[in-house]
Amino acid sequence: MEDDDPIHGGSAIDQALQKKHHDMLERLSARHQTRKSDSPDSSSSSSSFESTSSFLARFADSKRFIESRIGELRLGSSSEDPSNIKSGLAEISSAIENLEKLVAANSYFLPSYEVRSSLKAVSDLKQSLDILSGELVPKKKFSFKSKSSSTKPESKLPEIHKPDFVSPLKVPVRDSPGFRNKHGETLVKSFRGSSIGEFTLSDLDSCEVKLTGTVNALFLHRLKNCKVYTGPVIGSVLIDDVEDCVLVLASHQIRIHCARKSDFYLRVRSRPIIEDSNGVRFAPYCLDYEGIEQDLKTAGLEEETKSWANVDDFLWLRAVQSPNWSVLPEEERLSPVSLSGDS
């Protein structure tokens, strides 16, 4: 585009450049306006789209526009007077915010890969804007206090350390009901008729666990070489740190963290997710015990929606299948497990 030297002095050149720059911004913004009014569904910045492709087209368009605005502002900056720079920055910032709203408003129907890459793109734009405003706005006493604090692009969380940073918990927190610290045992529990709300399995090694009836929330923590069979969980199952396990679970939500070499047989309404896991395999729920039909109904899980196979790997950013999980081949699956007589 312009071959101006961004670092230069001379007020006459400044004047001319400033004019030129200003005109260009006008043009760009006019172009952006027409483009916006051309497309029928863009009247509101947070409009929803019918299809992924129309979303992507609109997204790419706005992204290009914002990038070119950032480029223009950087190029012309040395000649701009501070108030122009500020309004330029403000304009870009609100354009980015609109773009972000666009993604957010569409994130319910977009494929997860698209959500993720759009999220990344928006975050990159914000970072460029932060860097730009750090370059352009002199660190004067009064202006842009909060902006200049965010110009370090790579710092994750603020590195201020207060003395009370890791103050120990003041309240002795009671333990929830559960099975803990067992080795080589068979652990059986029925929730039927009990008022237990949440239940925990933690630090179990080589155990077989059979839970029947419904419970509101289930936490699994540090299990090794265990087999776990559970009746339906009304809320969610949170799993952290399991290895060489077979887990047969039914729940509205199932969240898996740090699992290695384990098989999950799931009935689940939402998408199961994995984070920091590998060698995990999935298959449909295969549990039976007396009264399970009623329990599944109580939990709203009587229907097999096949969600067990829609696994999302939060650490896998590409469109191709994550290498961290797979569908368990049918011939290797457990035959239906019956707990009758145990509970």
Ligand X SMILES: Nc1nc2c(ncn2[C@@H]2O[C@H](COP(=O)(O)OP(=O)(O)OP(=O)(O)O)[C@@H](O)[C@H]2O)c(=O)[nH]1
Binding status of residue 253 toward ligand X by CB under 6 A: yes
What distance in Å separates the CA atoms of residue 17 and residue 72, rounded to the nearest whole number? 12
Of 158, 163, 193, 341, the one binding another protein (CB under 8 A) is 158
Structure tokens at 10: 């001379």
Binding status of residue 42 toward another protein by CB under 8 A: no
Of 252, 261, 271, 333, the one binding ligand X (CB under 6 A) is 252
Binding status of residue 109 toward another protein by CB under 8 A: no
The nearer residue to another protein, 216 or 343, going by C-beta atoms, is 216
Binding status of residue 176 toward ligand X by CB under 6 A: no
Binding status of residue 20 toward another protein by CB under 8 A: no
Residue type, 303: E
The nearer residue to ligand X, 151 or 216, going by C-beta atoms, is 216
Of 29, 51, 52, 143, the one binding another protein (CB under 8 A) is 143
Total Cβ atoms within 10 A of residue 72: 18
Binding status of residue 103 toward another protein by CB under 8 A: yes
The nearer residue to ligand X, 150 or 219, going by C-beta atoms, is 219
* Closest CB 100 distance from another protein, rounded Å: 8
Site string for another protein, 222-261 (x = CB under 8 A): -------------xx-x-------------xx-x-x----
Of 84, 93, 236, 294, the one binding ligand X (CB under 6 A) is 236
